Amino acid sequence: MTKLRLAIVGAGPAGIYAADILLKAERNFEVSIDLFDHLPAPYGLVRYGVAPDHPRIKGIINALRGVLDSGDIRIFGNVRFGVDVTLADLKKHYNAVIFATGATQDADLNIPGMHLNGSYGAAEFVSWFDGHPDVPRTWPLEGTEIAVIGNGNVALDVSRMLVKHAEDLLSTEIPENVHAGLQASPVTDVHIFGRRGPTSVKFTPLELREIGQLRDVDMIVYDEDFDYDDAARDAVASNKQVFVIDKTLQQWRQRETGSASRRLHLHFFSKPVEVVDDGSGRVGGFRWERTRSDGAGGVVGTGEIREIPVQAVYRAVGYFGSELKDVPFDKKRGVIPNREGQVLRRDPEAGTGGLFNQQMYGVYVTGWIKRGPVGLIGHTKSDAMETIRHLINDLGNWWYPESPSEESIVALLDERGVQYTGLDGWRNLDLHEIALGEAAGRTRVKVVPRDEMVEISRGEG
Ligand SMILES: Cc1cc2nc3c(=O)[nH]c(=O)nc-3n(C[C@H](O)[C@H](O)[C@H](O)COP(=O)(O)OP(=O)(O)OC[C@H]3O[C@@H](n4cnc5c(N)ncnc54)[C@H](O)[C@@H]3O)c2cc1C
């Protein structure tokens, strides 16, 4: 019987679901799967993106752990594709590879002043508060007034983490340094800006409602944003999600404010124009243009410019994928070009301007790096199903590896001195974090420094 030796690069939900679906799929060949991740811990953005005060979503890790514990998958953590292993290496040892490397960079926002000190991407801040090993351990939380640009759930996560009192986060898994940083924050006002009106936001109703329940935080919405036109009224009447969002916002309009020590302001119809320099290269203000509905679902500028003083700006305008060595990359969309998960390369005859229209045999993609950084964890499952269907049907086009044995990749990593961590290593780290949590009366306390994670995983600590 044929055996598929499969490498999956990226142990986030997309990579783990792909492995699970393949193992359970109807097929007439055996499989042996190795999952690589450059982090010493699996689960991607579920561990390093989902906010710590969302334990229900973090709980998806339990289901993902069940897949890893099924015994049919090996994991190699702390192994970076493009550095520790290359595409040529994978071709030598596997029949095929699936890239599931996600999207972890901040998308750009091209307005003047974005480079100033005190201007940050949401992804950097999220990585900090979720204890990602590759970001600095301290975060400059010095501003009393902060602007957050964006009207999606990441903007809500960032704003909530900025405005929530640190002691209300103590029950979560946040690392000690994050708790200490948030506790020292002098913040009083967080302002969220979105170009469109309240009926066109990308927030989900649950996350929006949640932010209105924070202790000692007043929700400030502005009456001028609620003068709905026909299109907005239609949206409220016809779309349940918009209806609930509008209801939540309307309730906040009626609330008494003035007693809380912190405020969260929602500014709709506000198009970012400039991050203002305070004269010393630091963020001193935020300038935006008031927009209005164009009657066709979009907005147009009114020419009215407004400004408020702020000492920090966070842009939460989307994530963007990273290019991988020797793998085709669509620089505009930040994804690996593909047809339903089959990776496409440019026609070699057509040069660098050619279309991505030739299947790159043996190479597949799934998750956020396949379709861009939108959608929930659950969506990566349907993504993976599509990719696995093609992988199975393409049996005749898989690679013919020189050294397909399971030991040969281990020998290669050892020869290169890569300090990889396996499934047992993850179990060691997991138990260690849970024990740290127990000692502090919490469910878990995350270990942050990479070398410490690796030492604990490898039993060297
Ligand atoms: C701030 C934030 C909050 C979110 N909150 C929610 C939520 O509450 N609910 C929800 O359903 N969804 C949420 N999401 C969306 C969810 O996280 C994504 O849908 C999901 O994580 C995408 O899965 P993925 O496996 O494609 O990518 P990822 O989760 O990013 O996993 C990619 C993996 O690839 C690895 N990798 C990358 N490059 C390399 C390389 N060169 N070599 C080896 N490994 C590599 C990474 O380390 C990572 O482990 C949130 C997203 C963000 C950004």
pLDDT digit string, tens, across residues 360-417 = 999 999 999 999 998 899 999 999 999 999 999 999 999 999 999 999 999 999 999 9
Of 367, 365, 368, nearest in space to 334 by CA:
368
Q: With CA atoms as reference, report the closest residue to 290 among 306, 313, 307, 312.
A: 306
What are the tens digits of pLDDT across the range 207-259? 999 999 999 999 999 999 999 999 999 999 999 999 999 999 999 999 999 99
Which pLDDT belongs to residue 106? 93
Which three-class secondary structure state does DSSP give residue 286? Answer: strand
Q: With cut-offs at 50, 70 and 90, classify the pLDDT of residue 195.
A: very high
Diameter of the chain measured on Cα atoms? 72
Q: What is the distance in A from the centroid of ligand 1 to the CA of 171? A: 24
Q: What is the mean pLDDT of the chain?
A: 95
Q: Does 412 show up as a binding residue in the annotation? A: no
Residue to substitute in 76, 101, 366 for testing ligand 1 pocket (most ligand atoms within 8 angstroms of CB): 101
Share of the chain above pLDDT 70, in %: 99
Are 399 and 35 within 8 A, CB to CB?
Answer: no
* Whether the CB of 376 sits within 6 Å of ligand 1: yes
Q: Are residues 253 and 226 in contact, defined by beta-carbon separation less than 8 angstroms?
A: yes
Quick check: helix, strand or coil at residue 362?
strand
What pLDDT band is residue 447 in, cutting at 50, 70 and 90? very high
Whether the predicted pLDDT of 173 surpasses 70: yes
The confidence band for 2, taking pLDDT boundaries of 50, 70 and 90, is: confident
Q: What would the pLDDT profile of 26-59 be if each residue is shown by its tens digit? A: 999 999 999 999 999 999 999 999 999 998 898 9
- Ligand 1 atom with the shortest distance to the CA of 375: 19
∠ at Cα 217 (213, 221), nearest 5°? Answer: 85
Domain spans in the chain, listed from the N-terminal domain onward: 3-104+321-420, 105-319
Q: Whose CA is nearest to atom 6 of ligand 1?
A: 50
**Which of 286, 260, 108 lies closest to 192 in space, CA to CA?**
286
Distance in angstroms (rounded) separating the CA atoms of residues 374 and 103: 10
Among 45, 371, 386, say which to mutate for ligand 1: greatest number of ligand atoms within 8 Å of CB.
45
CB of 231 closer than 8 Å to CB of 293: yes
pLDDT of res. 347: 83
Q: How far does the centroid of ligand 1 lie from the alpha carbon of residue 83, in Å? A: 20
Whether the predicted pLDDT of 1 surpasses 70: no
The confidence band for 349, taking pLDDT boundaries of 50, 70 and 90, is confident
- Pocket flag, ligand 1, residue 182 (CB < 6 Å): no
Strand-strand pairing, 283-293 and 299-309: antiparallel
Round to whole Å and give the CA distance between 342 and 282. 46
- How large is the average pLDDT for residues 12-30? 96
Is 239 annotated as ligand-binding? no
C-beta of 15 in contact with ligand 1 (< 6 A) = yes
What was the pLDDT predicted at 461? 61
Domain 105-319 has CATH 3.40.640.10: no
| Band of residue 164 on the pLDDT scale cut at 50, 70, 90 | very high
348, pLDDT greater than 80: no
Query: Can you give the length of the chain in residues?
Result: 461
Q: Is the domain defined by 3-104+321-420 classed in CATH 3.40.50.720? A: yes
Residue type at 213 in one-letter notation: Q
Is 77 annotated as a binding-site member? Answer: no
Would the CB of 82 count as within 6 Å of ligand 1?
yes
Cα separations (Å) of 266 from 126, 182, 188, 402? 20, 22, 14, 59
What residue owns the CA closest to ligand 1's atom 2? 49
Q: Mapping DSSP to helix (H, G, I), strand (E, B) and coil, where does residue 133 land?
A: coil
pLDDT, residue 71, reads: 83
Is position 153 annotated in a ligand binding site? Answer: yes
